[in-house]
Structure 1
Amino acid sequence: MSELPAGVERRTVAGEERLTTAGDPVYGEPTVDGRRVWDAGRSKLGAMLELGMDTCLEGGESVLYLGAASGTTVSHVADFAGPTYAVEFAPRPVRDLVDVAAGRPTLFPLLADARSPREYAGVVESGLDCIVQDVATRGQAEVANRNAQFLGDDGLLLAAIKARSEDVVADPEAVFEDVRETLSATYEILETERLEPYHDDHLGIVARKR
Protein backbone atom coordinates (compact mmCIF):
# COMPACT_ATOMS: atom_id res chain seq x y z
CA MET A 1 0.00 0.00 0.00
CA SER A 2 1.51 3.34 -1.05
CA GLU A 3 1.97 6.13 1.45
CA LEU A 4 -0.93 8.57 1.68
CA PRO A 5 -0.36 12.31 1.27
CA ALA A 6 -0.11 14.33 4.48
CA GLY A 7 -3.61 15.25 5.55
CA VAL A 8 -5.19 12.01 4.32
CA GLU A 9 -5.51 9.40 7.05
CA ARG A 10 -7.29 6.10 7.60
CA ARG A 11 -9.89 5.78 10.32
CA THR A 12 -12.03 2.84 11.40
CA VAL A 13 -15.70 3.36 10.52
CA ALA A 14 -18.19 0.56 11.28
CA GLY A 15 -15.29 -1.87 11.52
CA GLU A 16 -13.79 -0.85 8.17
CA GLU A 17 -10.69 1.21 7.46
CA ARG A 18 -11.70 4.29 5.45
CA LEU A 19 -9.85 7.24 3.97
CA THR A 20 -10.55 10.57 5.68
CA THR A 21 -9.64 14.24 5.40
CA ALA A 22 -10.19 17.15 7.77
CA GLY A 23 -12.95 19.55 6.74
CA ASP A 24 -16.65 20.24 6.80
CA PRO A 25 -18.88 17.52 5.26
CA VAL A 26 -20.03 18.20 1.69
CA TYR A 27 -22.10 15.31 0.32
CA GLY A 28 -23.57 13.60 3.36
CA GLU A 29 -20.44 11.60 4.10
CA PRO A 30 -19.98 10.25 7.63
CA THR A 31 -17.49 11.80 10.02
CA VAL A 32 -15.22 10.21 12.60
CA ASP A 33 -12.82 11.85 15.07
CA GLY A 34 -13.69 15.21 13.53
CA ARG A 35 -12.71 14.00 10.06
CA ARG A 36 -14.84 13.30 6.99
CA VAL A 37 -14.84 9.94 5.21
CA TRP A 38 -13.61 10.05 1.63
CA ASP A 39 -15.98 7.76 -0.26
CA ALA A 40 -13.99 5.97 -2.97
CA GLY A 41 -17.24 4.91 -4.63
CA ARG A 42 -18.03 8.55 -5.32
CA SER A 43 -14.50 9.74 -6.08
CA LYS A 44 -12.09 8.54 -8.76
CA LEU A 45 -9.06 9.97 -6.96
CA GLY A 46 -10.30 8.41 -3.74
CA ALA A 47 -10.48 5.07 -5.57
CA MET A 48 -6.91 5.50 -6.83
CA LEU A 49 -5.72 6.03 -3.26
CA GLU A 50 -7.88 3.20 -1.89
CA LEU A 51 -6.44 0.81 -4.49
CA GLY A 52 -2.92 1.67 -3.40
CA MET A 53 -1.80 3.58 -6.49
CA ASP A 54 1.25 5.74 -5.90
CA THR A 55 -0.14 9.19 -6.70
CA CYS A 56 3.17 10.85 -5.73
CA LEU A 57 1.15 13.37 -3.70
CA GLU A 58 2.77 14.51 -0.48
CA GLY A 59 0.21 17.12 0.65
CA GLY A 60 0.27 20.87 0.19
CA GLU A 61 0.51 20.75 -3.61
CA SER A 62 -0.94 23.46 -5.83
CA VAL A 63 -3.66 21.83 -7.94
CA LEU A 64 -5.73 22.38 -11.06
CA TYR A 65 -8.82 20.19 -10.79
CA LEU A 66 -10.62 19.59 -14.10
CA GLY A 67 -14.22 18.41 -13.89
CA ALA A 68 -14.96 19.52 -10.34
CA ALA A 69 -18.76 19.03 -10.59
CA SER A 70 -20.43 19.87 -7.26
CA GLY A 71 -17.24 19.44 -5.27
CA THR A 72 -17.31 15.87 -3.97
CA THR A 73 -13.67 15.05 -4.70
CA VAL A 74 -12.19 18.52 -5.03
CA SER A 75 -13.38 19.35 -1.51
CA HIS A 76 -11.24 16.48 -0.19
CA VAL A 77 -8.32 17.66 -2.33
CA ALA A 78 -8.65 21.18 -0.93
CA ASP A 79 -8.60 19.70 2.58
CA PHE A 80 -4.99 18.55 2.16
CA ALA A 81 -3.61 20.50 -0.81
CA GLY A 82 -2.50 24.08 -1.30
CA PRO A 83 -4.20 26.46 -3.77
CA THR A 84 -6.80 24.39 -5.65
CA TYR A 85 -8.37 25.74 -8.85
CA ALA A 86 -11.62 23.89 -9.56
CA VAL A 87 -12.84 24.03 -13.17
CA GLU A 88 -16.43 23.03 -13.95
CA PHE A 89 -18.40 23.66 -17.15
CA ALA A 90 -22.02 23.41 -15.92
CA PRO A 91 -23.46 26.41 -14.05
CA ARG A 92 -25.65 24.42 -11.64
CA PRO A 93 -22.81 22.39 -10.06
CA VAL A 94 -20.68 25.52 -9.88
CA ARG A 95 -23.27 27.11 -7.59
CA ASP A 96 -22.83 24.15 -5.25
CA LEU A 97 -19.07 24.43 -5.64
CA VAL A 98 -19.15 28.05 -4.55
CA ASP A 99 -20.90 26.97 -1.34
CA VAL A 100 -18.27 24.26 -0.77
CA ALA A 101 -15.50 26.82 -1.25
CA ALA A 102 -17.02 29.21 1.31
CA GLY A 103 -15.37 27.27 4.14
CA ARG A 104 -12.21 26.43 2.22
CA PRO A 105 -10.08 29.53 1.57
CA THR A 106 -7.68 27.68 -0.75
CA LEU A 107 -10.44 26.43 -3.10
CA PHE A 108 -11.17 28.62 -6.12
CA PRO A 109 -14.21 27.64 -8.27
CA LEU A 110 -14.07 28.51 -11.98
CA LEU A 111 -16.99 28.31 -14.40
CA ALA A 112 -15.11 27.28 -17.54
CA ASP A 113 -14.60 24.51 -20.09
CA ALA A 114 -11.58 22.30 -19.39
CA ARG A 115 -11.28 21.74 -23.14
CA SER A 116 -10.49 25.46 -23.55
CA PRO A 117 -7.70 26.40 -21.12
CA ARG A 118 -7.55 29.91 -22.55
CA GLU A 119 -10.81 30.62 -20.69
CA TYR A 120 -8.97 30.52 -17.35
CA ALA A 121 -5.36 31.12 -18.37
CA GLY A 122 -5.53 34.61 -16.89
CA VAL A 123 -6.69 33.31 -13.51
CA VAL A 124 -4.84 30.05 -12.88
CA GLU A 125 -1.22 30.46 -11.88
CA SER A 126 1.52 28.70 -13.82
CA GLY A 127 4.02 26.28 -12.36
CA LEU A 128 1.40 24.17 -10.59
CA ASP A 129 2.36 20.91 -8.94
CA CYS A 130 -0.54 18.76 -10.10
CA ILE A 131 -3.53 18.38 -12.40
CA VAL A 132 -6.36 16.14 -11.19
CA GLN A 133 -8.71 15.31 -14.06
CA ASP A 134 -12.14 13.70 -14.09
CA VAL A 135 -13.97 14.96 -17.18
CA ALA A 136 -16.65 12.85 -18.87
CA THR A 137 -16.04 13.98 -22.43
CA ARG A 138 -14.57 12.62 -25.62
CA GLY A 139 -10.91 13.50 -25.99
CA GLN A 140 -9.91 13.17 -22.34
CA ALA A 141 -6.22 12.75 -23.21
CA GLU A 142 -6.28 15.89 -25.35
CA VAL A 143 -7.76 17.81 -22.42
CA ALA A 144 -4.87 16.69 -20.23
CA ASN A 145 -2.32 17.62 -22.89
CA ARG A 146 -3.78 21.10 -23.40
CA ASN A 147 -3.78 21.83 -19.68
CA ALA A 148 -0.18 20.73 -19.20
CA GLN A 149 0.76 24.37 -19.84
CA PHE A 150 -0.16 25.12 -16.22
CA LEU A 151 2.20 22.54 -14.74
CA GLY A 152 5.67 23.27 -13.53
CA ASP A 153 8.66 21.11 -14.40
CA ASP A 154 7.92 17.48 -13.53
CA GLY A 155 4.32 18.38 -12.62
CA LEU A 156 1.92 15.51 -12.00
CA LEU A 157 -1.20 14.37 -13.83
CA LEU A 158 -3.70 12.24 -11.92
CA ALA A 159 -6.41 11.33 -14.38
CA ALA A 160 -9.47 9.09 -14.31
CA ILE A 161 -10.29 8.04 -17.86
CA LYS A 162 -13.87 6.99 -18.54
CA ALA A 163 -13.95 4.56 -21.47
CA ARG A 164 -17.64 5.10 -22.27
CA SER A 165 -17.10 8.83 -22.67
CA GLU A 166 -14.65 8.10 -25.49
CA ASP A 167 -16.63 5.33 -27.23
CA VAL A 168 -19.73 3.61 -25.85
CA VAL A 169 -19.19 0.40 -27.83
CA ALA A 170 -15.40 -0.01 -28.03
CA ASP A 171 -13.52 -2.40 -25.76
CA PRO A 172 -12.37 -0.31 -22.78
CA GLU A 173 -8.83 -1.71 -22.98
CA ALA A 174 -8.54 -0.50 -26.58
CA VAL A 175 -9.77 2.93 -25.50
CA PHE A 176 -7.27 3.05 -22.66
CA GLU A 177 -4.40 2.10 -24.97
CA ASP A 178 -5.30 4.98 -27.30
CA VAL A 179 -5.40 7.34 -24.32
CA ARG A 180 -1.98 6.20 -23.12
CA GLU A 181 -0.52 6.78 -26.58
CA THR A 182 -1.98 10.29 -26.83
CA LEU A 183 -0.82 11.24 -23.34
CA SER A 184 2.70 9.99 -24.01
CA ALA A 185 3.34 13.01 -26.25
CA THR A 186 3.25 15.23 -23.16
CA TYR A 187 3.60 12.98 -20.13
CA GLU A 188 5.66 10.08 -18.87
CA ILE A 189 3.13 7.54 -17.61
CA LEU A 190 4.21 6.20 -14.22
CA GLU A 191 1.32 3.90 -13.31
CA THR A 192 -2.11 2.84 -14.54
CA GLU A 193 -4.79 0.72 -12.90
CA ARG A 194 -8.42 -0.10 -13.53
CA LEU A 195 -10.66 1.45 -10.87
CA GLU A 196 -12.96 -1.51 -10.32
CA PRO A 197 -14.73 -2.33 -8.04
CA TYR A 198 -15.32 1.34 -7.28
CA HIS A 199 -15.87 2.61 -10.85
CA ASP A 200 -16.59 0.41 -13.86
CA ASP A 201 -14.68 0.94 -17.12
CA HIS A 202 -12.42 3.62 -15.66
CA LEU A 203 -8.62 3.75 -15.75
CA GLY A 204 -6.60 5.63 -13.16
CA ILE A 205 -3.43 7.18 -14.55
CA VAL A 206 -0.46 8.70 -12.73
CA ALA A 207 1.85 10.59 -15.08
CA ARG A 208 4.53 13.27 -14.98
CA LYS A 209 5.01 16.13 -17.43
CA ARG A 210 7.93 15.58 -19.74
Structure 2
Amino acid sequence: MSGLPDGIERREFDGHERLSTRGEPVYGEPTDGEWRCWDAGRSKLGAMLETGMDVDLSGGESVLYLGAASGTTVSHVADFAGPTYAIEFAPRPVRDLIGVAEDRSNLFPLLKDARKPETYAHIVEADLDLLVQDVATRGQAAVAVNNAQFLADEGQLCLAVKARSEDVTADPETVFEEVREEVAAAYEIVDSRRLEPFHDDHLGIVARKR
Protein backbone atom coordinates (compact mmCIF):
# COMPACT_ATOMS: atom_id res chain seq x y z
CA MET A 1 0.00 0.00 0.00
CA SER A 2 1.46 3.32 -1.07
CA GLY A 3 0.63 5.58 1.83
CA LEU A 4 -2.71 6.12 3.53
CA PRO A 5 -5.68 7.78 1.83
CA ASP A 6 -7.23 11.06 2.85
CA GLY A 7 -9.20 10.44 6.01
CA ILE A 8 -6.90 7.79 7.54
CA GLU A 9 -3.94 8.76 9.71
CA ARG A 10 -1.49 7.09 12.04
CA ARG A 11 -1.77 8.69 15.46
CA GLU A 12 -0.50 7.77 18.91
CA PHE A 13 -2.85 5.95 21.25
CA ASP A 14 -1.63 4.43 24.52
CA GLY A 15 1.97 4.96 23.46
CA HIS A 16 1.61 3.18 20.11
CA GLU A 17 1.09 4.53 16.60
CA ARG A 18 -2.17 3.13 15.26
CA LEU A 19 -4.56 3.73 12.41
CA SER A 20 -7.32 6.24 12.99
CA THR A 21 -10.21 7.93 11.20
CA ARG A 22 -12.06 11.15 11.98
CA GLY A 23 -15.60 10.55 13.22
CA GLU A 24 -17.91 9.89 16.13
CA PRO A 25 -16.79 6.98 18.39
CA VAL A 26 -18.72 3.74 17.97
CA TYR A 27 -17.34 0.90 20.11
CA GLY A 28 -15.49 2.54 23.01
CA GLU A 29 -12.30 3.01 21.00
CA PRO A 30 -9.65 5.51 22.22
CA THR A 31 -9.90 8.98 20.73
CA ASP A 32 -7.58 11.92 20.09
CA GLY A 33 -9.73 14.96 19.51
CA GLU A 34 -11.85 14.20 16.45
CA TRP A 35 -9.75 11.13 15.61
CA ARG A 36 -10.77 7.63 16.70
CA CYS A 37 -8.46 4.63 16.91
CA TRP A 38 -9.11 1.94 14.31
CA ASP A 39 -8.59 -1.27 16.30
CA ALA A 40 -7.13 -3.88 13.93
CA GLY A 41 -7.91 -6.57 16.50
CA ARG A 42 -11.61 -5.88 15.96
CA SER A 43 -11.48 -5.13 12.24
CA LYS A 44 -10.35 -7.43 9.41
CA LEU A 45 -9.92 -4.50 7.02
CA GLY A 46 -7.93 -2.66 9.69
CA ALA A 47 -5.73 -5.75 10.02
CA MET A 48 -5.22 -5.83 6.24
CA LEU A 49 -3.99 -2.24 6.38
CA GLU A 50 -1.82 -2.86 9.46
CA THR A 51 -0.14 -5.89 7.89
CA GLY A 52 0.77 -3.81 4.83
CA MET A 53 -1.44 -5.49 2.27
CA ASP A 54 -1.65 -3.86 -1.15
CA VAL A 55 -4.94 -2.07 -0.52
CA ASP A 56 -5.41 0.84 -2.93
CA LEU A 57 -7.44 3.61 -1.30
CA SER A 58 -7.48 7.33 -1.97
CA GLY A 59 -10.51 8.44 0.07
CA GLY A 60 -13.99 9.16 -1.22
CA GLU A 61 -14.54 5.68 -2.69
CA SER A 62 -18.06 4.37 -3.24
CA VAL A 63 -18.36 1.18 -1.19
CA LEU A 64 -20.44 -1.96 -0.74
CA TYR A 65 -19.72 -3.52 2.65
CA LEU A 66 -20.91 -7.09 3.20
CA GLY A 67 -21.22 -8.32 6.78
CA ALA A 68 -21.45 -4.94 8.49
CA ALA A 69 -22.65 -6.36 11.84
CA SER A 70 -23.01 -3.56 14.40
CA GLY A 71 -20.81 -1.17 12.45
CA THR A 72 -17.34 -1.51 13.98
CA THR A 73 -15.41 -1.53 10.69
CA VAL A 74 -17.94 0.01 8.33
CA SER A 75 -18.07 3.09 10.55
CA HIS A 76 -14.36 3.65 9.91
CA VAL A 77 -14.89 3.06 6.19
CA ALA A 78 -17.69 5.61 6.09
CA ASP A 79 -15.39 8.10 7.86
CA PHE A 80 -13.10 8.28 4.81
CA ALA A 81 -15.23 6.95 1.95
CA GLY A 82 -18.09 8.26 -0.14
CA PRO A 83 -21.50 6.53 -0.29
CA THR A 84 -21.24 3.32 1.74
CA TYR A 85 -23.88 0.59 1.51
CA ALA A 86 -23.77 -1.67 4.57
CA ILE A 87 -25.34 -5.13 4.24
CA GLU A 88 -26.22 -7.12 7.38
CA PHE A 89 -28.76 -9.95 7.65
CA ALA A 90 -29.28 -10.09 11.45
CA PRO A 91 -31.90 -7.64 12.78
CA ARG A 92 -30.25 -6.99 16.17
CA PRO A 93 -26.92 -5.70 14.79
CA VAL A 94 -28.78 -3.66 12.18
CA ARG A 95 -30.44 -1.69 14.97
CA ASP A 96 -26.99 -0.73 16.21
CA LEU A 97 -25.88 -0.02 12.65
CA ILE A 98 -28.74 2.41 12.17
CA GLY A 99 -27.53 4.28 15.25
CA VAL A 100 -24.02 4.47 13.76
CA ALA A 101 -25.48 5.83 10.52
CA GLU A 102 -27.21 8.68 12.35
CA ASP A 103 -23.78 10.36 12.63
CA ARG A 104 -22.76 9.47 9.05
CA SER A 105 -25.00 10.75 6.28
CA ASN A 106 -23.11 8.67 3.68
CA LEU A 107 -23.75 5.33 5.44
CA PHE A 108 -26.79 3.35 4.30
CA PRO A 109 -27.66 0.27 6.42
CA LEU A 110 -29.59 -2.50 4.65
CA LEU A 111 -31.17 -5.53 6.35
CA LYS A 112 -30.29 -7.99 3.59
CA ASP A 113 -28.49 -11.31 3.04
CA ALA A 114 -25.15 -10.94 1.21
CA ARG A 115 -25.72 -14.38 -0.34
CA LYS A 116 -28.74 -12.94 -2.20
CA PRO A 117 -27.52 -9.82 -4.04
CA GLU A 118 -30.68 -9.81 -6.17
CA THR A 119 -32.58 -8.61 -3.07
CA TYR A 120 -30.66 -5.33 -2.92
CA ALA A 121 -29.65 -4.84 -6.56
CA HIS A 122 -32.43 -2.26 -6.95
CA ILE A 123 -31.02 -0.20 -4.06
CA VAL A 124 -27.23 -0.42 -4.36
CA GLU A 125 -25.75 1.65 -7.17
CA ALA A 126 -23.61 0.07 -9.87
CA ASP A 127 -19.98 0.74 -10.76
CA LEU A 128 -18.77 1.01 -7.17
CA ASP A 129 -15.08 1.46 -6.38
CA LEU A 130 -14.72 -0.95 -3.47
CA LEU A 131 -16.29 -4.15 -2.17
CA VAL A 132 -15.38 -5.05 1.42
CA GLN A 133 -16.49 -8.48 2.63
CA ASP A 134 -16.41 -9.96 6.14
CA VAL A 135 -19.14 -12.58 6.08
CA ALA A 136 -18.69 -15.58 8.38
CA THR A 137 -20.56 -18.17 6.35
CA ARG A 138 -19.83 -21.20 4.21
CA GLY A 139 -19.29 -20.17 0.60
CA GLN A 140 -17.41 -16.93 1.20
CA ALA A 141 -15.82 -17.01 -2.26
CA ALA A 142 -19.20 -17.44 -3.93
CA VAL A 143 -20.50 -14.37 -2.09
CA ALA A 144 -17.57 -12.32 -3.41
CA VAL A 145 -18.06 -13.59 -6.96
CA ASN A 146 -21.84 -13.02 -6.94
CA ASN A 147 -21.44 -9.46 -5.66
CA ALA A 148 -18.83 -8.52 -8.26
CA GLN A 149 -21.74 -7.23 -10.36
CA PHE A 150 -21.79 -4.05 -8.26
CA LEU A 151 -18.15 -3.17 -8.92
CA ALA A 152 -16.86 -0.98 -11.72
CA ASP A 153 -14.37 -2.52 -14.13
CA GLU A 154 -11.17 -3.09 -12.15
CA GLY A 155 -13.03 -2.21 -8.95
CA GLN A 156 -11.31 -3.47 -5.80
CA LEU A 157 -12.27 -6.37 -3.52
CA CYS A 158 -11.02 -6.58 0.08
CA LEU A 159 -12.09 -10.00 1.33
CA ALA A 160 -11.56 -11.46 4.80
CA VAL A 161 -11.83 -15.26 4.75
CA LYS A 162 -12.59 -17.09 7.99
CA ALA A 163 -11.36 -20.66 7.60
CA ARG A 164 -13.52 -22.09 10.38
CA SER A 165 -16.68 -20.77 8.74
CA GLU A 166 -15.93 -22.83 5.64
CA ASP A 167 -14.92 -26.07 7.37
CA VAL A 168 -14.13 -26.27 11.06
CA THR A 169 -12.20 -29.53 10.60
CA ALA A 170 -10.11 -28.64 7.52
CA ASP A 171 -6.59 -27.26 7.50
CA PRO A 172 -6.92 -23.48 7.07
CA GLU A 173 -4.33 -23.38 4.28
CA THR A 174 -6.36 -25.90 2.30
CA VAL A 175 -9.47 -23.76 2.76
CA PHE A 176 -7.61 -20.61 1.75
CA GLU A 177 -6.27 -22.19 -1.45
CA GLU A 178 -9.76 -23.31 -2.45
CA VAL A 179 -11.16 -19.83 -1.81
CA ARG A 180 -8.38 -18.19 -3.83
CA GLU A 181 -9.11 -20.48 -6.77
CA GLU A 182 -12.83 -19.70 -6.71
CA VAL A 183 -12.32 -15.95 -6.29
CA ALA A 184 -10.00 -15.97 -9.33
CA ALA A 185 -13.01 -16.76 -11.53
CA ALA A 186 -14.14 -13.13 -11.25
CA TYR A 187 -11.10 -11.29 -9.90
CA GLU A 188 -7.38 -10.90 -10.42
CA ILE A 189 -5.80 -11.45 -7.01
CA VAL A 190 -3.33 -8.68 -6.16
CA ASP A 191 -2.33 -9.75 -2.65
CA SER A 192 -3.25 -12.41 -0.10
CA ARG A 193 -1.85 -13.07 3.35
CA ARG A 194 -2.76 -14.36 6.78
CA LEU A 195 -4.11 -11.80 9.25
CA GLU A 196 -2.21 -12.98 12.31
CA PRO A 197 -1.47 -11.69 14.92
CA PHE A 198 -4.72 -9.74 14.74
CA HIS A 199 -7.06 -12.58 13.68
CA ASP A 200 -6.32 -16.31 13.89
CA ASP A 201 -7.10 -18.56 10.91
CA HIS A 202 -8.12 -15.64 8.69
CA LEU A 203 -6.86 -14.75 5.23
CA GLY A 204 -6.99 -11.31 3.66
CA ILE A 205 -7.42 -11.11 -0.12
CA VAL A 206 -7.09 -7.96 -2.22
CA ALA A 207 -8.25 -8.37 -5.81
CA ARG A 208 -9.41 -6.46 -8.89
CA LYS A 209 -12.55 -7.25 -10.83
CA ARG A 210 -11.70 -8.83 -14.18
Whole-Å separation in 2 of the counterparts to 1:165 and 1:4: 31
Give the drift of 1:195: 0.2
Range with greater deviation from structure 2 (54-63 or 92-101) = 54-63
TM-score (structure 2 length as normaliser)? 0.99
Q: Secondary structure, in 3 states, of the residue corresponding to 1:130?
A: strand
Alignment correspondent of 1:164: 164
Contact 1:2 1:53 in 2 (8 A): no
TM-score by length of 1: 0.99
- Which residue identity is paired with 1:150? F
Q: What residue identity is the alignment partner of 1:144?
A: A
How do residues 15-30 of structure 1 correspond to structure 2 at under 5 angstroms?
15-30=15-30
Between the aligned partners of 2:4 and 2:193, the Cα distance in structure 1 is: 17
Q: SS of the residue aligned with 1:175?
A: helix
Structure 1, unaligned runs of 5 or more: none
1:29-44 equivalence runs, <5 A: 29-44=29-44
- Helix, strand or coil at the partner of 1:131: strand
SS at match of 1:192: strand
Counterpart of 1:13 in structure 2 is 13
Which residue number corresponds to residue 65 of structure 1? 65
Shift of 1:33: 3.2
Report the equivalent of 2:198.
198
Equivalence for 1:90: 90
Q: What CA distance in whole angstroms lies between the structure 2 residues aligned with 1:96 and 1:33?
A: 24
1:183 aligns with 2:176: no
CA-based RMSD of the aligned residues comes to: 0.8
| Stretches of structure 2 lacking an aligned partner (at least 5 in a row) | none
For the residues of structure 1 that align with 2:60 and 2:177, how far apart are their CA atoms? Answer: 32
User: Could you tell me whether the CA contact under 8 Å between 1:2 and 1:52 is conserved in 2?
Assistant: no
Cα separation, 2, equivalents of 1:72 and 1:138: 22
State the match for 2:174 in structure 1.
174
What is the match of residue 115 of structure 1?
Answer: 115
Q: Tell me by how many angstroms 1:106 deviates.
A: 0.3
- The answer to whether the 8 Å contact 1:22/1:34 transfers is yes
Task: Using the TM superposition, give the Cα deviation of residue 4 of structure 1 relative to its aligned residue in structure 2, in angstroms.
Answer: 1.4
CA distance in 1, matches of 2:14, 2:29: 13
The one-letter amino acid paired with 2:160 is A
AA at the equivalent of 2:192: T
CA–CA separation in structure 2 for the residues paired with 1:76 and 1:5 = 13
